[in-house]
Chain A
Amino acid sequence: MIPVLFIVIPLVSGLALFFFKNEKAGRSWALFSSMITLVVALLGLTLHPDNKYLQFSADWLGSLGSSFSVQVDGMGQILCLLTAVSYPVIFIATWENQYQKSNNFFGLMLLAQAGLMGVFVAMDALLFYFFWELALIPMYFLSSQWGGEKRVQATFKFFIYTFLGSVLMLAGIIYLYTQTPDHSFGIASFYKLGMLLPTPTQNWIFWLFFAAFAIKMPIFPFHTWQPDLYEQSNTSTTMVLSGVMVKMGVFACIRWLLPVVSIASYQWGDLVTSLAVTGILYASLVAIQQDDLKRLVAYSSIAHIGLMCATIFSETSIGFQGVMIQMFNHGINIIGLWIVVDMIERKCATRKISELGGLAQKAPSLAIFALIMALANIALPLTNAFIGEFMMFNGIFSSKITHYNVIFTVLAAISIILAAIYILNMIRKVFYGNSNAVTAAAQDITWNQKLVLSVLVILIIWLGVYPDSLLNLTHDLTDTILKKSDVLPLLMKH
């Protein structure tokens, strides 16, 4: 029942919002709905992944071999929790932001949440594709109608780019569907089919799928839509995009790519990892050069996601678990950073690092929260990101399926130095030094912002000290996926 609630609650309340007249009521309704979802997610967290309340199946386009089957497994629990946590946080943190037609804004936000939840719980390829698009379409309206001056241009690029990927993926899904013996879109049939497909077929199917995921994550060199979009769209939208939506790509690689076309994943693994590692270094170096806070965070996100991608294709148990927990961590941390950036922008009316300075005198609480978020972003131990990155680096290093594991690890790990450079320089230029004309009038943050930032900080520290609370969820799942994507017996057969 729970996965259905995940989809239905935001969907229904989001649709209802379009009929609200009162803006204040609409806002509260959105917050209320997201809180309910959060409660459901927390309830779901207490259940074992095999529990029947975490599964649901109903007929849906039965003649096509597709069914409405949804399930929250370990990885789903983590990502649904992330989606559920991030929404109230975003709503509260940006409570004072004014939007034109705010009810439409919040309605679309909730629709996007329904789509995201759907992606994370879908166990049917057609359903997965449906939600994949359902999440995209509200995002298109959100970022094209509320945001900076060049938002339409940036959104157009984003939309065309991701849509291209989606179409390729759809082609791949349909091809696989026609090949399944029982003509089914079910995930089990896809997994079974994966073992039968000849290698050349796997190879091009791999690229059809990976195109969609690589663009979504995004992986170098498919990333150029991201900084533009993050810079131009409104901060709440950016938080959803970077906090939750980019995880769709990473998630989909684990669920729909590796276990399905495992031989191709193995064969292209080195290439993809090289791209990812190049992207990590590239994005980190470019981030050092950025003067716009939003672009800086965007590039830092590209680097972090690149690391997740590289880890996925190293196919190790510790690496997979690292990725799963890091998806949550990265979501929390980057939403925290966006909140800080948003507040800086609202207080000083600029995001240019070169124009800011000395904010720590004017807004000490903001400075402390910003510093903690920044430190979490550079994976300092006892923050959550350290756990994830440590496990991921470890995964790449101990990978058995590539010969270049040491080189990949060393190159990727250089990013921890580069990350320290760009993050600390940003902190220094924005918060330290003497305040100037731009920052002179800035005031410290309000209680609701302190509240959400404190919640995030508590999450960051909690998962940094006792990550086992989430790691426990993914043990079994990791083993299953690894077993499915183990290529050696398959290679023998072909």
Chain B
Amino acid sequence: MPINYYIFLSLALFAVGIVGVLTRRNAIIIFMCIEIMLNAVNLLLVAFSKMHHLKQAATLATAGTNGQIFVFFIMVVAAAEVSVGLAIIVMMFRNVHSVDVNFLNRLKH
């Protein structure tokens, strides 16, 4: 498959993520959109990694796996991050009974 397909897909995913983050007010949805963006980038990383080592891939089975391993790392870190983020959101909900980000403007202070 041409690399373009991957690029367009991840661009689309990323755009969806951005629009989601910008337009939605629910913290959980925003969170999910961030994850979508992260995964879009991950996808791109895998695709580029494969393409970068295309010539070696014909002879070497493990060629281009560096990027994919990295993606695993990223997913692990992202998972950790999600757990922390969700915990924060839960705490916020407990405190103010809302996950509306417009309502949560305490950063100003």
Q: Within 8 Å by CB, do A and B touch in the complex? A: no
A residues neighboring B (CB under 8 Å): none
